[in-house]
Amino acid sequence: MDLLALLIVAVIALLMAWLLQRPSLRRPPLAPYPQRAPFLGGGTVDSHAWSRFHVRYYPMTLLLIAFEMEMMFMYPWAVVYVEEGIKALAEMGMFLAILSVGIVYGWRERVFRWQ
């Protein structure tokens, strides 16, 4: 039922957004090449932009995956926390402390810099 409501909201929003882009029945003619050239202040580009881009923050994404798994664990933990009491806090504190060591290690290994 909730999911049906979400679906209805999504469909209405997609429709609104599609209409705002002023869709037309006829496909508009393709603009001439000079109009489609990329903007570079009057300059030219050597190649297509699509390339094997050197993503400089790649090591950070590996650390992110570890924290994402912790996040997944914390969702059910939040719901049962008040019943479980201080023991639950201690367990989560330990988990966070272990992962924080990962952050400190990453910081020292310059993982958060542009490689």
Partner 1 sequence: MSWLQRMAGEAPVPVYVARGIDASHDDLAALALDANIELVATPRHAAVLLVVGTVPAKFHDGLRRLHDQMPRPATTLWYRSRPLPEFDAPHTLSKTDRLAPTLTDLYRTLYGRTPQPVLLPDRPPAPWRGLGDYGQGGEGMMGGTPYGRPMAMTDDDLRDGLQLDALGFTLGPFFGPWAPGLLMHMSLQGDVVQRVSVQSPPFPQAPPTVFGAALRGAVPIADLELARARSHLFGLAHSLETAGLRSLALRTLAHAARLRPGVDIGLMRGWLRRCGLFASVPPGCGQLTRTQAIRIGGTAARAAGQPMDARLEDPAYRRLGFSVIVQDAGDCRARWRQWLGEIEQSLALADRAAGENVYTDQTEVVETPRGRWRRGAGIADASAVLEELLPGMEWSEAMATIASLDVAAGEPGEGGEP
Partner 2 sequence: MGTDLLLPVVVLFAVLVAGVYLVQVFDGIVASALSGIPARDHWLAPLRRGAWLWLQQDITTEHPDALNWRLAPMVYFTLAALGMAVIPWAGQVVAADLSTGIVLWGSVEALATVVIFLHGWSANAVFPLLGAYRYVALGLSYILISMFVLIGVALPAESLKITYVVLSQQELWNVVRQPLGLPLFLIVGLGIAFWGPLNFADSADLAGGTAAEVSGPHRLLWTVARSAMLVAFSAVAAATFLGGWLGPWLPGLVWMVLKMLLVLAALLLLGRVLARPAPERFLTFAWVVLLPLAFLDLVWAGLEAL
Catalog residues that contact partner 1 under the rule CB under 8 A: 32-35, 37, 39-56, 114-115
Question: Is 29 a residue that touches partner 2 (CB under 8 A)?
Answer: no
- Give the Cα separation of 39 and 31 in Å (integer): 15
Sole binder of partner 2 in the list 26, 32, 37, 69 (CB under 8 A): 37
Question: Is 98 a residue that touches partner 2 (CB under 8 A)?
Answer: no
User: Which structure tokens are listed for 67?
Assistant: 């924290």
29 SS3 class:
coil
- Give the Cα separation of 12 and 20 in Å (integer): 12
CB-based contact 95:70 (threshold 8 Å): yes
Least separation, in Å, of the C-beta of 63 and partner 1?
Answer: 17
Closer CB to partner 2, 25 or 30, in the complex: 30
Closer CB to partner 1, 12 or 37, in the complex: 37
- The contacts of residue 43 (CB under 8 Å, 6+ apart) are none
Q: Which does 44 bind (CB under 5 to 8 A by kind): partner 1, partner 2, none?
A: partner 1
Least separation, in Å, of the C-beta of 25 and partner 2?
Answer: 15
User: Which structure tokens are listed for 33?
Assistant: 């090449």
